[in-house]
């Protein structure tokens, strides 16, 4: 579930596509030329339009919601290589996400008719390790670019901060829970608090929210920073941090991932087991009972998203076969969904 830090970083990168290009260059370890043109609002609109249709006779009441509406964080067109770059920002481990990313990649490939690259930005060291150890294998054939914040230069003096404060904030937010130090955070916060700009306090809030508790707590007790932190509503960032901690605990204690709209009901004593006691709304055919941490449902929704974007809507019988298929079959059908002319060809 997106939080304050996720949305703050996303907002900066949406306004400064040149910073996304710099991140991509650091991830690849080589300089890049060309431009990134935002497509942030186009892909979700196309996916929603493709997934909307009049319910067929016999459809369940939620038939229009069966196709996963794509809400990729950021989408760009990169020239001169003429490829589409999808950017996903993550601060939590969500085991069902790789199947959603497959859906993004498949629909973008079909819509834009060009090569698609997926750039993953982890905001936590554990998330980075999970992406490397698990997500990469689930994304075979897509070859995602997994960003390592350690490749960014540390903030050691004010010269680069003054030169481009937004870049410094992006670096700190990405490094905060991976390799940031108290000294670098103190240096950046000191500048943001002192500079008289309309954006400076918002960026200071964002940095404080991104930092791990031990660093944030130490800075909040600093007598040189305490008055300024109070001035920019320290309670505000503490509130956002408490939300982030609560979401993390909810995830660790049994949050069911990879569901339509990410909505999970029936969290009983912090555990959602995908059973009758923990009903999940918006499932394909009304019920997917927590198979393999939501991977089956995620794969099915990605497959339906690609088919829906291409104008291929399964019949009631075909939808029944898709919904009852095992994970291995869904994985095999996903790349075929980009080229088939009829849904029935998947079963041939």
Separation CA 34–CA 18 (nearest Å): 10
What share of the chain in percent tops pLDDT 70?
69
Q: Give me the chain's average pLDDT, please.
A: 75
Residue 162 or 56, more confident? 162
- Per the CB < 8 A criterion, the answer to whether 44 and 72 are in contact is yes
pLDDT in tens, 185-201: 999 999 988 888 888 88
Instruction: Write down the pLDDT at residue 62.
Output: 39
Instruction: Write down the pLDDT at residue 253.
Output: 52
- Per the CB < 8 A criterion, the answer to whether 45 and 78 are in contact is no
pLDDT of 332 strictly over 90: no
Looking at residue 286, what DSSP letter applies?
G
- Per the CB < 8 A criterion, the answer to whether 127 and 93 are in contact is yes
Helix (H, G, I), strand (E, B) or coil at 203: helix
Helix (H, G, I), strand (E, B) or coil at 118: strand
Residue 134 or 229, more confident? 134
Q: What is the pTM of this model?
A: 0.65
Residues 295-314 have a mean pLDDT of: 81
- Per the CB < 8 A criterion, the answer to whether 334 and 99 are in contact is no
> What does residue 36 show for φ and ψ, rounded to 5 degrees?
-110, 125
pLDDT of 324 strictly over 90: no
CA pseudo-torsion sign 149, 205, 38, 16? negative
> What does residue 121 show for φ and ψ, rounded to 5 degrees?
-110, 100
Label each residue of 132-191 as H, E or C. HHHHHHHCCCCCCEECCHHHCCCCCCHHHHHHCHHHHHHHHHHHCCCCCCHHHHHHHHHH
Instruction: Write down the pLDDT at residue 121.
Output: 96
pLDDT in tens, 102-158: 888 888 888 778 889 999 999 999 999 999 888 777 777 788 999 999 999 999 999
pLDDT of 40 strictly over 70: no
pLDDT in tens, 246-287: 555 555 554 444 444 444 444 444 444 544 444 544 443 444
Instruction: Write down the pLDDT at residue 282.
Output: 45
Strands 116-122 and 145-146: parallel
pLDDT of 60 strictly over 50: no
User: Pick from 219, 267, 226, 260: which is nearest to 246 by CA?
Assistant: 267
Separation CA 334–CA 74 (nearest Å): 23
> Among 35-49, 86-100, 237-251, which is the least confidently predicted range?
237-251
Alpha carbon separation from 347 to 48, 84, 134, 332, 343 (Å, rounded): 26, 30, 29, 11, 8
> Among 233-242, 291-300, 325-334, which is the least confidently predicted range?
233-242
Separation CA 105–CA 89 (nearest Å): 15
């Amino acid at each position: 579930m997106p939080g304050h830090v996720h949305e703050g970083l996303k907002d900066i990168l949406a306004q400064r596509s040149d910073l996304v290009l710099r991140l991509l260059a650091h991830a690849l370890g080589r300089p890049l030329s060309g431009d990134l043109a935002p497509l942030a609002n186009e892909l979700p609109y196309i996916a929603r339009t493709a997934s909307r249709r009049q319910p067929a006779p016999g459809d369940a009441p939620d038939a229009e919601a069966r196709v996963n509406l794509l809400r990729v964080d950021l989408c760009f067109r990169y020239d001169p290589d003429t490829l589409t770059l999808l950017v996903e920002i993550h601060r939590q481990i969500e085991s069902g996400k790789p199947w959603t990313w497959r859906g993004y990649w498949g629909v973008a490939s079909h819509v834009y008719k060009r090569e698609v690259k997926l750039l993953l930005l982890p905001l936590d060291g554990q998330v980075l390790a999970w992406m490397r150890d698990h997500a990469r294998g689930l994304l075979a054939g897509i070859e995602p670019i997994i960003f390592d914040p350690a490749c960014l230069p540390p903030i050691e003096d004010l010269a680069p901060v003054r030169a481009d404060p937004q870049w410094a904030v992006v670096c700190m937010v990405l490094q905060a829970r991976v390799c940031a130090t108290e000294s670098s955070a103190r240096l950046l916060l000191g500048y943001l608090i002192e500079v008289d700009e309309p954006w400076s306090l918002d960026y200071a809030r964002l940095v404080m929210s991104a930092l791990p508790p031990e660093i944030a707590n130490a800075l909040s007790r600093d007598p040189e920073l305490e008055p300024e932190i109070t001035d920019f509503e320290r309670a505000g960032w503490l509130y956002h941090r408490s939300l982030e901690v609560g979401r993390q605990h909810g995830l660790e204690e049994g949050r069911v991932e990879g569901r339509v709209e990410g909505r999970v009901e029936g969290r009983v004593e912090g555990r959602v087991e995908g059973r009758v006691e923990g009903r999940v709304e918006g499932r394909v055919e009304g019920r997917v009972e927590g198979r393999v941490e939501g991977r089956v449902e995620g794969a099915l929704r990605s497959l339906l998203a690609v088919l829906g974007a291409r104008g291929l809507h399964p019949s009631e019988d075909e939808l029944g076969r898709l919904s009852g298929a095992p994970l291995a079959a869904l994985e095999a059908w996903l790349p075929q969904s980009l080229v088939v002319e009829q849904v029935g060809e998947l079963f041939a």
